[in-house]
Amino acid sequence: MNDKEDLRNEIPEYVYIALARRGMEKISLDQCFLKNCDNEDPKLLEPFKKEEYEEVNKQTKKIYIKCKKCNGIFILKLETLKEVAKSTKHEGEEPLSMGLVYALDEKGKNLGHIGYF
Ligand SMILES: [Zn+2]
């Protein structure tokens, strides 16, 4: 397995988006999030770099992805919030964590919140 395959494994296959009154919908992250690009072919998406930060209650991963259809670069920012709903009733239980996914453009400008993983 090479580095690029490893990077692909860092990306959740699906994220969930909340729909008003209709529950949650699952969407694939195998798509280009840049404007005016409709690429949904994972073969044309190449993750090439990863940055990782660790904070007290949060782990942030940024995966840089090159789109071979529009030749643009975008960043998937994956934030894992730890202990978002720590249970006080069940001592010793693993605290729940929650993941948030954002798309950023090459310069780090936020393109929007995509969903939860
Ligand atoms: Zn694209």
* 6 band by pLDDT with thresholds 50, 70 and 90: confident
Is a pLDDT exceeding 80 seen at residue 107?
A: yes
Q: Where are the domains of the chain?
A: 3-116
Q: Give the model's pLDDT for residue 7.
A: 92
Distance 95 CA to ligand 1 centre (A): 37
Give residues whose Cβ lies within 5 Å of ion ligand 1: 32, 34, 37, 39, 67, 69-70
* Overall pTM surpassing 0.85 (yes/no): no
Residue 34 exposed, middle or buried by CB count within 10 Å (0-12, 13-18, 19+): buried
The mean pLDDT of the chain is 88
Distance 57 CA to ligand 1 centre (A): 33
Distance separating alpha carbons of residues 62 and 85, to the nearest angstrom: 24
* 82 band by pLDDT with thresholds 50, 70 and 90: confident
